[in-house]
Amino acid sequence: MRALRVETLRTAAIALAATALLATPLTEASATPTAPARAQQAVKKPDPWGDTLKQLGVQGWNEFRRNSPSTIHPTFVESDLSGLNLDGVNLNGADLSSANLRDTSLERADLRDSDMWFTNLTGADLHGADLSDSSIFYSTFVNADLSDSTLTRANLTNSDFTGANLVGARRDCKWNPICW
């Protein structure tokens, strides 16, 4: 009797599954798994600010910033700006978190009040750059040139300055947890 109930239940389950399959016609769209569609949506979003900066160049970008409302704070999160010549660029208030600025020339750049979490500045030229009031956490300045730069009130927590040139850099130990 128990074997009969198990067989009846098994038959009922198979019939139910077959009915469900027949109720929804199998089309090309329904046969495509949804995981790849989600993966395609997760593809890195376009970087409009990085692209704009690259297209306009430093002079055009700075003119754009002068003519824009002061409330604009461009986001360069995960942007690849490596190896570019951005001397004198106005990135005041920009979010450069996780950006790649490796070997980028940023001489005399205005980076005041910027966010640089996990930013790669390895080998970057920041001679005379102003990084005052910036939040610079876990960033890499290995072999970077920060000579004559301004780091007053910048928070440099857990950033790596191995081999960096800090000759003439202005900093204050009152606000900066890392004093060298």
According to the model, what pLDDT value does residue 179 have? 56
Is the Cα dihedral 109, 62, 51, 69 positive or negative? positive
Q: Report the candidate in 169, 176, 137 with the shortest Cα–Cα distance to residue 150.
A: 169
Q: Which tokens belong to 76? A: 């360069």
According to the model, what pLDDT value does residue 25 have? 47
Query: d(Cα 145, Cα 84) in Å, to the nearest integer?
Result: 15
DSSP string over the chain: -HHHHHHHHHHHHHHHHHHHHHHS---HHHHS-HHHHHHHHTSPPP-HHHHHHHHHHHHHHHHHHHHS-TT---B-TT-B-TT-B-TT-B-TT-B-TT-B-TT-B-TT-B-TT-EEES-B-TT-B-TT-B-TT-EEES-B-TT-B-TT-B-TT-B-TT-B-TT-B-TT-B--TTT-S---
Query: d(Cα 113, Cα 92) in Å, to the nearest integer?
Result: 6
According to the model, what pLDDT value does residue 171 have? 86
According to the model, what pLDDT value does residue 176 have? 54
Tell me, what amino acid is at 57?
G
Q: pTM here?
A: 0.71
Contacts of residue 12, Cβ cutoff 8 Å, sequence gap at least 6: none
According to the model, what pLDDT value does residue 141 have? 97
Per residue of the chain (180 residues), give pLDDT as tens. Answer: 444 444 544 554 454 444 444 444 444 444 444 444 444 444 455 577 999 999 999 999 999 999 887 667 899 999 999 999 999 999 999 999 999 999 999 999 999 999 999 999 999 999 999 999 999 999 999 999 999 999 999 999 999 999 999 999 998 765 555 555
According to the model, what pLDDT value does residue 73 have? 83
